[in-house]
């Protein structure tokens, strides 16, 4: 028996939705906590299965973890042990690879299985490994497991061929204890990176330049400070609800956001004709008047248009009059959602790395599969808009990244439920 999400489309949304803490920050912040030896209290933890998997991993490492209230996690690494990370939980998410940088940095040794996560086409980790090697580590790969060793890590200059989010964070974590200065050039500038560096600095690290393409890390002997950290809001969850509002709301407010994190997306919505008010920490979306205009989207690293948003945005483009294009520069194969949307009546041609969306088409409820997390998010948007009932399979992908999706949507007036089929 499999649990599916069913959505009866056509119900207008209204009211206010509060955005949770950022998934992609949280999944790096949790591993970052083990770099120190004092307790960390983290507020804004999203209730998602990726966090559950990380808690399992922390406990396996002997880290004491306590959930306090709805969105608070207390993490105390003072009694942790560095054991090989080979359990099934490692392969439930991609971000388990942040333990590579954290354990290598702290102990000079890490043993960890190949990580899992969404399949978006090939997702190599060569830049992470090259960065560790540049810091002085040796790396072996045996029986599906990476073994990283270093007698001593030494600061150095590392130029990333691609400004990878994961490589930037992982190298930053390993470099926290490296002797001397590490400079990461062409570093990724995503807001999540600032959040992780901010936590590490509160713990006692010396990181500067986060949020720019040059990050400087001066190695320290110890991260000896406990602290409290408030996670930044999830800009991808926020964008998903803004898209739902653009498609289905007369008047809906998305709150607890940092609007500058969403600039590229809000600009595109404005271009196609969505009416919005942008406040200091909210966006209010109104029913759009007149037909929506088609547009061109090119995914780019931050501050460009986020690849994670192109999948749910594609759904809205089916409602624009004319041909829109989406071109992927991050994951050229990230178009599996298009096949699912076609089952619902969308008219989309995919010639990788682009999708051509002919609108405006009516969407109809159908049986579809969440092939990955943001495909799943797109199918929820489509289900809300469609005529009839949409049945979404493989919803574990959605549960990896969306906190209380059912509760939030029902409170906005959506008609959705779960069934075992």
Residues 277-316 touching ligand EPU, rule: CB under 6 A, are 307-308
Per DSSP, what are the bridge partners of residue 241? none
Sketch the per residue contact string, 5 through 44, with ligand EPU: x for CB under 6 A, - otherwise.
Answer: -------------------x--x-----------------
Q: Closer CB to ligand EPU, residue 128 or residue 393? A: 128
Considering only 167, 244, 257, 292, the residue that binds ligand EPU (CB under 6 A) is 167
Scanning 4-12, 106-114, 164-172, 240-248 for contacts with ligand EPU by CB under 6 A, the matching segment is 164-172
Task: Please say which residue, 167 or 272, places its beta carbon nearer to ligand EPU.
Answer: 167
Q: Would you count residue 165 as binding ligand EPU (CB under 6 A)? A: yes
In sequence order, which residues have a C-beta less than 8 Å from that of residue 108 and are 6 or more positions away? Answer: 149, 150, 151, 152, 153
- CB neighbour list of residue 143: distance below 8 Å, 6 or more residues apart: none
Q: Does 162 bind ligand EPU (CB under 6 A)?
A: yes
Other beta carbons within 10 Å of 315: 27
Instruction: Give yes or no for residue 335 binding ligand EPU (CB under 6 A).
Output: no
Residues 6+ apart with CB under 8 A from 112: 84, 85, 86, 90, 96, 97, 99, 100, 103, 145, 146
When binding is defined by CB under 6 A, the residue of 20, 164, 318, 369 that contacts ligand EPU is: 164
Residue closest to ligand EPU when measured from CB atoms = 166
Instruction: Give min distance, CB of 112 to ligand EPU, in A.
Output: 15
* 118 noted as active-site residue: yes
Question: Helices (DSSP H) in 211-262: which residue ranges?
Answer: 235-248
DSSP assignment string, 339-404? HHHHHTT-EEEEETTEEEEEE----B--EEE--SHHHHHHHHHHHHHSBSEEEEE-THHHHTT-TT
Q: Per-residue x/- mask for ligand EPU, residues 347 to 386, rule CB under 6 A?
A: --------------------------xx------------
> How many CA atoms lie within 13 Å of 39's alpha carbon, on the beta-carbon side?
9
Q: Return the number of the residue (253 or 327) whose C-beta is nearest ligand EPU.
A: 327
Residue 150, phi then psi, degrees to nearest 5 = -155, 130
CA 392, CA 111: separation in Å to the nearest integer? 37
Site string for ligand EPU, 109-148 (x = CB under 6 A): ---------x----xxxxxx--------------------
| Residues 289 and 275: beta-carbon distance below 8 Å | yes
Out of 118, 227, 338, 375, pick the active-site residue.
118
> Where does this chain touch ligand EPU (CB under 6 A) — which range of 39-47, 157-165, 318-326, 407-415?
157-165
Which residues sit opposite 417 in a β-bridge?
A: 6
The dihedral through the CA atoms of 190, 399, 405, 379 has a sign that is positive
Cα(183)–Cα(127) distance, rounded to whole angstroms? 15
Which residues in 58-97 contact ligand EPU (CB under 6 A)? 94-95
Binding site for ligand EPU (CB under 6 A): 24, 27, 94-95, 118, 123-128, 162, 164-167, 188, 236, 307-308, 330-331, 373-374, 401
- Name the residues annotated as catalytic: 118
């Amino acid at each position: 028996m499999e649990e599916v999400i069913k959505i009866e489309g056509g119900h207008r949304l209204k009211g206010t939705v509060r955005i949770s803490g950022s998934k992609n920050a949280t999944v790096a912040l949790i591993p970052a906590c083990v770099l120190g030896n004092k307790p960390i209290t983290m507020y804004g933890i999203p209730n998602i299965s990726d966090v559950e998997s990380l808690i399992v991993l922390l406990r396996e490492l002997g880290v004491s973890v306590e959930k306090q209230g709805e969105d608070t996690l207390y993490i105390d690494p003072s009694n942790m042990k560095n054991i090989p990370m080979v359990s099934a939980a490692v392969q439930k998410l991609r971000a388990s690879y942040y333990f590579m940088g954290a354990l290598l940095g702290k102990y000079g040794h890490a043993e960890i299985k190949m990580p899992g996560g969404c399949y978006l086409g090939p997702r190599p980790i060569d830049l992470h490994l090259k960065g560790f090697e540049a810091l002085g580590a040796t790396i072996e790969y045996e029986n599906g497991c990476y073994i990283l060793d270093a007698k001593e890590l030494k600061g150095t200059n590392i130029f990333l061929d691609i400004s990878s989010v994961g490589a930037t964070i992982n190298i930053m974590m390993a470099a926290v204890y490296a002797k001397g200065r590490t400079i990461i050039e062409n570093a990724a500038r995503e807001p999540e990176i600032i959040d992780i560096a901010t936590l590490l600095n509160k713990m006692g690290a010396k990181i500067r330049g986060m949020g720019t393409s040059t990050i400087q890390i001066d190695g320290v002997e110890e991260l000896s400070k406990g602290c409290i950290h408030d996670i930044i809001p999830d800009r991808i969850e926020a964008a998903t609800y803004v898209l739902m509002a653009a498609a289905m709301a007369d008047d809906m407010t998305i709150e607890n956001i940092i609007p500058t994190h969403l600039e590229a997306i809000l600009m595109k919505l404005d271009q196609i004709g969505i009416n919005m008010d942008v406040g200091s920490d909210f966006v209010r979306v109104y029913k759009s008047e007149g037909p929506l205009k088609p547009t061109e989207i090119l995914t780019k690293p931050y501050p460009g248009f986020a690849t994670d948003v192109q999948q749910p945005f594609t759904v809205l483009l089916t409602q624009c009059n004319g041909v829109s294009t989406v071109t992927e520069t991050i994951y050229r194969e990230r178009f599996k959602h298009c096949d699912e949307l076609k089952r619902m009546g969308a008219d989309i041609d995919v010639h990788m790395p682009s999708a051509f969306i002919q609108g405006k088409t009516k969407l109809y409820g159908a049986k579809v599969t969440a092939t990955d997390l943001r495909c799943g998010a797109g199918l929820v948007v489509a289900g809300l808009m469609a005529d009839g009932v949409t049945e979404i399979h493989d919803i574990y992908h959605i549960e990896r990244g969306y906190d209380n999706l059912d509760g939030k949507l029902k409170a906005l007036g959506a008609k959705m439920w779960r069934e075992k089929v």
